[in-house]
């Protein structure tokens, strides 16, 4: 099968890039991954608690809480856009999900009946309430993503301004629907909900499993489908993408929808871990998510990024947070350090591309 | 030349093409033919109507008057994709390449080869790289399909942009100032790429300001001035001095 085709060209004066100048080694993601591995080694010697099973589970769970949204925003960043509404989106989707769940579980709803004792509410079809409420939460995310995409791709508004507006609109809606109080998952399916969001399988936290699956799907989509190819083309040269007949409007709308859905799913998972969806949930998380993506090597100018980078960025942020706690450093230092790392990561990449 | 014209029908035939933007007359009554395997230089000063003419042929604008025949059939382009569908490709001055993608990815951008795995269809990287390598071989350009465009020289970029047009088997390739921003050695490469296209029977329209390039590769030169065609001469019947005079208006027509 894999017959190497005879090259019709002999290369006399065009050098081939060496292995360390290609692929992962030549990307910011590669450098940050190296830095992360070094940090892990340092943590291992600095704290005997770091590599314990409990702490590792903790780290895996914590970084999964922003990593799914980071995967989503990476699509947008690759096209050269930005989405500031992800934090609000997390909250609103989580809130709608738990409100719908409670609503459908109220006595008298089509989905439940009362048990023989006349007090206990029993689901007619176990799991159906959960399914419908999660779909409702993702449904509002879909709508928000479509509105973002429409404003940016069709009306030609700037992504920064559009999603800054959406940040406020969606947060406002979350306060309106909950009257500022927040909501709590409830009813007969709440146990399933908690199991699926904050449970674990053989000691592996459920959010981490979702993350790994979604990251693998994303890798295939980005590198092995026409959609992924067009996402990169858009970030590389939007005019060229348009001239070659790519439907730029459609691809743009799709990336904002993906981003909003990822944020919505992330919010639903976080609310399972918190046990509630308060109206101020995930405030300013958009900054963590963007920071993680950028540290992992996504380029805000567009054209570069991927799932590995998104995850590496999230892990690095979480290991630093976790490390500061274990090292008993005042945890208020965390934000300062994160800022330094963002600048360092971009700086190292700049120095490297100057040298190349 | 005359024997070619006698035996073959023109691939592109413009009759009485005119274009007005409001009160401004950008083009007036332009007749022109381009034959397969012919390289036609389109020259003129800024504002002479060259780019308007190119945009009409490429389907960016619709002409206010006149008729376009392609391969003997009257055509009406509403969008650039309509022109591309019949076999007209444009190599833009800034080349319209995505720097962050490989040469092969750029060649196949917008018309990727795919393989079906059950319900999902994935990119066929191997087939695209092999075909791109073949095209670069035809163009005798030392370009690796897997190299990123951002690492390439101006000549290689031109080869990638021209390979795109070969992929679709274009019958007419219009090149907008392909030699404007590249080094002397790379100009040689681009001119040889144009020769390769000609060998394959592709008609080429070269829009250029550079007199030496036009005289090096073109069979015929068309000079535009103030929206009108002022000259249409075989290259061996004219001289750079005459063309310059026609462009500047020192000589009205030839």
Shortest CA gap A336–chain B (Å): 33
The CATH 3.40.50.300 domain(s) of chain B lie at 2-87+170-248
Nearest CA in chain A to B150: A236
Give A225-264 pLDDT, tens digit per residue.
999 999 999 999 998 888 888 899 999 999 999 999 999 9
Alpha helices in chain A (DSSP H): 28-46, 53-78, 86-105, 128-149, 159-178, 190-198, 206-224, 226-236, 238-243, 248-274, 285-295, 307-326, 333-355
Shortest CA gap A22–chain B (Å): 9
Report ipTM (2 d.p.): 0.82
Asked if residue B97 lies in contact with residue B156, where contact means CB atoms within 8 angstroms, the answer is: no
Shortest CA gap A260–chain B (Å): 24
Beta strands A112-114; A121-123: pairing state: antiparallel
Per CB-CB distance under 8 Å, the chain A contacts of B167 are none
A33 pLDDT higher than 60: yes
A74 pLDDT higher than 90: yes
Domain for residue A332, yes or no?
A: no
Among B92, B123, B156, whose Cβ lies nearest the Cβ of A225? B123
Per CB-CB distance under 8 Å, the chain B contacts of A224 are 122-123, 125
Give B184-220 pLDDT, tens digit per residue.
777 887 888 888 889 888 999 999 888 888 998 999 9
Inter-chain contact A303–B99, Cβ cutoff 8 Å? yes
Give A82-138 pLDDT, tens digit per residue.
999 999 999 999 999 999 998 888 877 777 777 777 777 777 777 888 999 999 999
Neighbours of A13 (CB within 10 A): 6
Neighbours of A2 (CB within 10 A): 4
Among A12, A17, A240, whose Cβ lies nearest the Cβ of B97? A240
Per CB-CB distance under 8 Å, the chain A contacts of B98 are 232-233, 236-237, 240-241, 303
Q: A233-243: b or e for each residue (b if 16 or more CB lie within 10 Å)?
A: bbbbbbebbbb
Instruction: Output the pLDDT for position A323.
Output: 85
Among A226, A230, A304, whose Cβ lies nearest the Cβ of B100? A304
The least confident of A140-154, B90-104, B175-189 is B175-189
B7 pLDDT higher than 70: no
Asked if residue A91 lies in contact with residue A274, where contact means CB atoms within 8 angstroms, the answer is: no
Shortest CA gap B158–chain A (Å): 14
Nearest CA in chain A to B112: A226
As a whole number, mean pLDDT of residues A263-277 equals 93
As a whole number, mean pLDDT of residues A199-225 equals 91
Q: Which of B166, B189, B176 is nearest to B95 (CA)?
A: B176
Per CB-CB distance under 8 Å, the chain A contacts of B99 are 236-237, 303
3-state secondary structure B19-48: EEECCEEEEEEEEEEECCCCEEEEECCCCC
B42 strand-pairing partners: B207, B222
A82 strand-pairing partners: none
Give CA–CA dist B134/B138, Å, rounded: 6
Among B84, B98, B112, whose Cβ lies nearest the Cβ of A226? B112
Question: Looking at chain B, how many residues does it have?
Answer: 254
3-state secondary structure of A267: helix
Among B95, B100, B110, whose Cβ lies nearest the Cβ of A245? B110
Burial class (CB within 10 angstroms; exposed 0-12, middle 13-18, buried 19+) of A3: exposed
Give CA–CA dist A30/A129, Å, rounded: 44
Domain range for A105 = 52-284+299-304
B50 pLDDT higher than 90: no
Instruction: Output the pLDDT for position B219.
Output: 93
Asked if residue A148 lies in contact with residue A163, where contact means CB atoms within 8 angstroms, the answer is: yes
Domain for residue A3, yes or no?
A: no
Burial class (CB within 10 angstroms; exposed 0-12, middle 13-18, buried 19+) of B185: exposed
Give B66-110 pLDDT, tens digit per residue.
999 998 889 998 888 888 889 998 888 777 899 899 999 999 998
pLDDT band for position A211 (cuts 50, 70, 90): very high
Inter-chain contact A240–B109, Cβ cutoff 8 Å? yes
Instruction: Output the pLDDT for position B3.
Output: 46
Nearest CA in chain A to B79: A245
Task: Pick from A1, A3, A7, A9 the residue to mutate for testing the B interface (most B CBs within 10 Å).
Answer: A9
Domain for residue A99, yes or no?
A: yes
Give B123-172 pLDDT, tens digit per residue.
999 999 999 998 888 877 888 898 889 888 878 888 898 888 888 888 99
Give B218-237 pLDDT, tens digit per residue.
999 999 998 889 889 899 99
Shortest CA gap B235–chain A (Å): 32
Per CB-CB distance under 8 Å, the chain B contacts of A241 are 98, 109-110
As a whole number, mean pLDDT of residues A32-45 equals 88
Neighbours of A221 (CB within 10 A): 18
A329 pLDDT higher than 90: no
Average pLDDT, chain A: 87
pLDDT band for position A17 (cuts 50, 70, 90): low
Shortest CA gap B64–chain A (Å): 23
Inter-chain contact A220–B122, Cβ cutoff 8 Å? yes
Inter-chain contact B92–A243, Cβ cutoff 8 Å? yes
B33 pLDDT higher than 70: yes
Asked if residue A305 lies in contact with residue A79, where contact means CB atoms within 8 angstroms, the answer is: no
Among B96, B137, B147, whose Cβ lies nearest the Cβ of A8? B137
Question: Looking at domain B2-87+170-248, which CATH architecture does it have?
Answer: 3-Layer(aba) Sandwich (3.40)
Instruction: Output the pLDDT for position A4.
Output: 47
Burial class (CB within 10 angstroms; exposed 0-12, middle 13-18, buried 19+) of A109: middle
B2 pLDDT higher than 60: no
Inter-chain contact B96–A8, Cβ cutoff 8 Å? no
The residue whose two tokens read 């300013």 is A284
Instruction: Output the pLDDT for position B39.
Output: 93
Give CA–CA dist B55/B65, Å, rounded: 14
Nearest CA in chain B to A302: B100
Instruction: Output the pLDDT for position A21.
Output: 59
Give CA–CA dist B217/B50, Å, rounded: 19
The least confident of A123-127, A202-206, A221-225 is A123-127
Has this prediction a pTM greater than 0.95? no
C-alpha neighbours within 13 Å on the C-beta side of residue A99:
21
Inter-chain contact B133–A5, Cβ cutoff 8 Å? yes
% of chain A beyond a pLDDT of 90: 45
B40 strand-pairing partners: B205, B220
Shortest CA gap B78–chain A (Å): 14
A181 pLDDT higher than 90: no
A356 pLDDT higher than 60: no
Q: How many domains are there within chain A?
A: 1
- For residue A151, what is the DSSP state? I
Domain for residue A259, yes or no?
A: yes
């Amino acid at each position: 099968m894999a017959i190497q085709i005879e090259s019709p060209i002999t290369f006399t004066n065009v050098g081939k890039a060496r292995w360390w100048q290609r692929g992962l080694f030549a990307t910011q993601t590669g450098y940050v991954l190296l830095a992360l591995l070094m940090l892990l080694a340092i943590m291992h010697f600095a704290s005997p608690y770091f590599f314990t099973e409990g702490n590792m589970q903790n780290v895996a769970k914590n970084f999964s809480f922003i990593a799914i949204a980071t995967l989503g925003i990476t699509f947008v960043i690759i096209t050269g856009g930005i989405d500031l509404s992800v934090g609000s989106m997390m909250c609103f989707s989580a809130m709608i999900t738990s409100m719908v769940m409670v609503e459908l579980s109220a006595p008298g709803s089509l989905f439940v009946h009362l048990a023989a004792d006349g007090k206990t509410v029993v689901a007619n079809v176990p799991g159906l309430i959960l399914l419908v409420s999660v779909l409702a939460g993702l449904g509002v995310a879909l709508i928000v993503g479509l509105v973002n995409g429409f404003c940016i791709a069709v009306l030609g508004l700037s992504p920064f301004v559009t999603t800054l507006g959406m940040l406020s609109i969606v947060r406002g809606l979350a306060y309106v629907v909950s009257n500022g109080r927040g909501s709590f998952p409830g009813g007969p399916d709440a146990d399933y909900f908690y199991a699926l969001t904050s449970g674990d399988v053989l000691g592996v936290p459920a959010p981490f499993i979702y993350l790994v699956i979604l990251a693998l799907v994303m890798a295939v989509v980005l590198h092995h489908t026409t959609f992924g190819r067009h996402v990169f083309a858009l970030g590389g040269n939007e005019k060229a993408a348009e001239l070659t007949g790519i439907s730029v409007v459609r691809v743009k709308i799709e990336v904002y929808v993906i981003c909003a859905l990822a944020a919505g799913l992330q919010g639903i998972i976080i609310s399972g871990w918190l046990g509630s969806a308060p109206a101020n949930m995930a405030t300013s998380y958009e900054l963590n998510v963007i920071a993680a993506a950028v540290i992992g090597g996504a380029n805000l100018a567009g054209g570069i990024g991927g799932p590995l980078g998104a995850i590496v960025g999230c892990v690095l942020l979480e290991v630093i947070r976790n490390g500061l706690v274990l090292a008993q450093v005042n945890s208020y230092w965390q934000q300062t350090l994160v800022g330094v790392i963002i600048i360092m990561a971009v700086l190292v990449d700049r120095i490297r591309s100057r040298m190349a | 030349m005359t024997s070619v014209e006698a035996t073959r029908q023109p691939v592109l035939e413009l009759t009485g093409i005119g274009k007005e933007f409001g009160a401004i007359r950008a083009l007036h009554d332009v007749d022109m033919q381009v034959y397969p395997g012919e390289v036609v230089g389109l020259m003129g000063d800024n504002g002479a109507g060259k780019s308007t003419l190119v945009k009409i042929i490429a389907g960016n604008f619709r002409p206010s008057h006149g008729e376009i025949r392609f391969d003997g059939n009257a055509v009406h382009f509403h969008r650039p994709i309509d022109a591309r569908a019949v076999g007209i490709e444009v190599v833009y001055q800034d080349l319209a390449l995505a720097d962050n993608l490989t040469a092969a990815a750029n060649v196949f951008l917008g018309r990727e080869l795919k393989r079906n795995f059950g319900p999902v269809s994935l990119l066929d990287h191997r087939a695209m790289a092999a075909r791109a390598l073949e095209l670069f071989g035809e163009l005798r350009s030392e370009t690796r399909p897997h190299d990123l465009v951002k690492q390439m020289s101006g000549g290689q970029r031109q080869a990638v942009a021209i390979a795109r047009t070969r992929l679709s088997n274009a019958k007419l390739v219009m090149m907008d100032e392909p030699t404007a921003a590249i080094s002397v050695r790379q100009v040689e490469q681009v001119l040889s790429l144009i020769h390769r296209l000609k060998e394959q029977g592709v008609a080429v329209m070269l829009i250029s300001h550079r007199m030496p390039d036009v005289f090096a590769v073109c069979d015929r030169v068309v000079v535009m001035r103030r929206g009108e065609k002022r000259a249409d001469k075989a290259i061996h019947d004219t001289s750079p001095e005459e063309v310059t005079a026609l462009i500047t208006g020192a000589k009205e027509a030839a």
